[in-house]
Amino acid sequence: MRTRFFLPLCFVAWALGTAFAGDASGQAISVRVAGAPKANGTLELTLYAKAPKTSYLKIFSEPSHTPLLLVLNKGQRSLGQEQRQTWTQAGGAVIETALEEAAPRMGNLRRPGTDTRIVVLAGTASGERVLADAQIGTGPFSFSVDWQDGKATHCCDNATCGHRCAECSDPAFTCCGANCEVSCGHVGCR
């Protein structure tokens, strides 16, 4: 009698695990992005990532949709050579590293001075997902996103306010540095 129920339960557990494997909504992904504009008009970007089941992370400057950094997860099935070349031809940097815990830093990235947002995308077995759409202004920035089970905790950091966070149901958020606010969605800073 026990075997009759045990085997179907094992199959259901296996099927659920297979269905959610590689899906960004079923795994924890942590990403922190910090940017420092330089006097020559370029951007130095540092990324801290813990995204082991992610094939790649893409970072864009918006609204110009300028590619900044493409991080390929070493050892994972990932983007082809043609997509990598397209990225670099558009001015973005490409690196390959283990995304179990990565901390690459890239300099001399071109970010239009009028762009006010940074977007982070994660490529998984089930497709591409926007993890963060951070409205951060045009100056130096530091923000993070912890994504798990379809929910995001967005945090902003600066010297005056320290580390502030907001739990949001979607990737869009705003860091208002001067008044130490983190808001879900894109809002105007006072």
Cβ pair 42, 108 in contact under 8 A: yes
pLDDT attached to residue 179: 75
pLDDT attached to residue 7: 34
pLDDT attached to residue 152: 92
pLDDT attached to residue 26: 60
Taking Cα atoms as reference points, which of 125, 128, 75 lies closest to residue 102? 75
Q: How far is CA 78 from the centre of its chain?
A: 16
pLDDT 10s per residue in the chain (190 long)?
A: 444 433 333 333 333 233 333 344 467 899 999 999 998 889 999 999 999 889 999 999 999 999 999 999 987 766 778 888 888 888 899 998 989 888 889 999 999 999 999 999 999 888 899 999 999 998 899 999 999 888 899 999 988 888 999 999 999 999 987 778 899 999 887 6
Q: What is the DSSP letter of 102?
A: B
Beta strands in 38-140 (DSSP E): 42-50, 56-62, 66-73, 93-97, 105-110, 117-124, 127-135
Cα three-residue angle 153-107-78, rounded to 5 degrees: 60
pLDDT attached to residue 1: 45
Q: Which token pair is 77?
A: 């099935």
Provide the sign of the torsion angle of the four alpha carbons 109, 113, 159, 34, taken in this order.
negative
* List of residues 6+ apart from 141 with CB closer than 8 A: 33, 34, 35, 118, 134, 156, 175
Which three-class secondary structure state does DSSP give residue 18?
helix
pLDDT attached to residue 190: 67
pLDDT attached to residue 12: 30
What DSSP element (H or E) covers 157?
Answer: strand 151-158
